[in-house]
Amino acid sequence: MTQTILATGGAGFIGSHVTLELLTAGYKVVVFDNLSNSSPKSIERVARLTNGAPELVVGDIRDQAALDTLFESHDIDAVINMAGVKAVGESVEKPQKYYDINVSGSINLYRAMLRHGVGKVVFSSSATVYGMPEKMPIDESYPIGPLNPYGISKRMNEQILEGMTAANPGWRALLLRYFNPVGAHGSGQIGEDPTGTPDNLFPFIAQVATGRQPGLKVFGNDYPTPDGTAIRDYIHVVDLARGHVRAIDFLLSDAAQDNVAEVINLGTGSGSSVLQVHRAWQDACGFEIPYDMAPRRAGDAPESCANPAKAKDLLGWEAEFDLPRMCADHWKWQSANPQGYEGS
Ligand code: NAD
Ligand code: UD1
């Protein structure tokens, strides 16, 4: 029988790709999203690309009654909790917003799951929980040290789920720590559509390439790295989404154990510097992208790179797409949709 996955935040950047890959793998998907940082067009396009029918329920994870109604009216087998807010700087200015949505909202969701007998859950965590790592690559046993309310909210979710999974019969959780998700679906139909000026490197370069921003500022060229610019483990969002399908397959199989919450890194294991990313973008676009050197950004680590071995061992998953493909697919999306969903 077809199994049904609830995808909170399923209309967003990562969520739309996860929804698409789940439908492609034969799951039914119910998306629960308040559309505060996404467009219903992402779901319409996923439907067209898959000939599938993801159901979109517009609602807020802070609304306990809406969550209870959702579980009463749908037969949910497992949940992927991707809903939330994610801007590090904003989280420092408005910590209450981050704890309210990312923590209280998630607790409402887990409470509704408990009430309705659903105990299988995948959570969108982040490599940001490792703080300012010093030894590369980072495996899941690396010490935790989130540096801001956003990172703390991710760690709190991990801890809440570790406790609930241990205590409740039939509960199983996978806590996925994403490294740097970038790129877009190869069709160019769905992708990241940030509101305002993007903080992250890929969406910022994408806007320079379409002329919405005058030039890239490279934050710091005095890091202890080969070219002096900071290194990250960028991962294609389609690879990341397929990791979620493997996570769900695993949770619903006999291979997974009850009362166990596993932390798993989702990265490629290969790092790229800001200048390497800039060059790969120029190759993808076929023209020059202006850039200047600028001071370091506060709170940035010199390097962040995953050891993704556990994902391979436990889920049989590893990333396939390289940096040129990440840039090519991101550019395909951005050039076809220069103003995002609403402008297209
Ligand atoms: P996104 O903003 O595109 O997606 C989040 C979705 O959640 C949006 O569709 C938004 O409308 C929805 N949402 C926000 N608040 C909500 C609420 N109160 N109720 C219901 N829906 C709500 O972001 P994304 O990049 O797709 O991130 C998805 C998840 O992955 C987030 O939890 C994020 O913290 C986590 N994550 C993202 C990254 C990244 O670099 N993109 C890295 C690590 C972890
Ligand atoms: C940021 C967040 C992190 C979050 C991650 C994924 C901060 C301090 N950290 O990390 O918590 O988990 O996004 O969403 O915000 N860069 C430039 N110029 C730019 C933009 C970025 O040089 O205009 C550099 C950065 O200094 C960094 C690299 O590019 O070295 C990647 O930046 P970004 O995409 O923001 O990701 P992270 O810094 O890894």
Q: Tokens 């969903």: give the residue.
A: 341
| Domain residue ranges of the chain, discontinuous segments joined by + | 4-182+234-267
pTM of the model: 0.98
Which residues have CB under 8 Å from 266's CB, separation 6+?
Answer: 176, 177, 178, 179, 235, 240, 243, 306, 308, 311, 317, 319
280 Cβ below 6 A of ligand 1: no
Distances in Å between the alpha carbon of 68 and those of 30, 36, 60, 62, 118?
14, 21, 12, 11, 12
Q: Is 128 in the pocket of ligand 2 (CB under 6 A)?
A: yes
Omega of the bond leading into 181 within 30 degrees of 0 (cis) = no
Residue nearest to atom 25 of ligand 2 (CA): 219
Q: At which residue do the structure tokens 């119910």 appear?
A: 30
> Is any atom of ligand 1 closer than 6 Å to the C-beta of 9?
yes
Q: 270, exposed or middle or buried, with CB in 10 Å at 0-12, 13-18, 19+?
A: middle
Residue written as token pair 């996978």:
174
| Phi/psi at 284 (5° precision) | -65, -40
Which CATH number applies to 4-182+234-267: 3.40.630.30, 3.40.190.80, 3.40.50.720, 3.40.50.2000? Answer: 3.40.50.720
Per-residue pLDDT for the chain (344 aa), expressed as one digit of tens each? 899 999 999 999 999 999 999 999 999 999 999 999 999 999 999 999 998 889 999 999 999 999 999 999 999 999 999 999 999 999 999 999 999 999 999 999 999 999 999 999 999 999 999 999 989 999 999 999 999 999 999 999 999 999 999 999 999 999 999 999 999 999 999 999 988 899 999 999 999 999 999 999 999 999 999 999 999 999 999 999 999 999 999 999 999 999 999 999 999 999 999 999 999 999 999 999 999 999 999 889 999 999 999 999 999 999 999 999 999 999 999 999 998 998 76
Closest to 330 measured CA to CA, from 342, 344, 340: 340
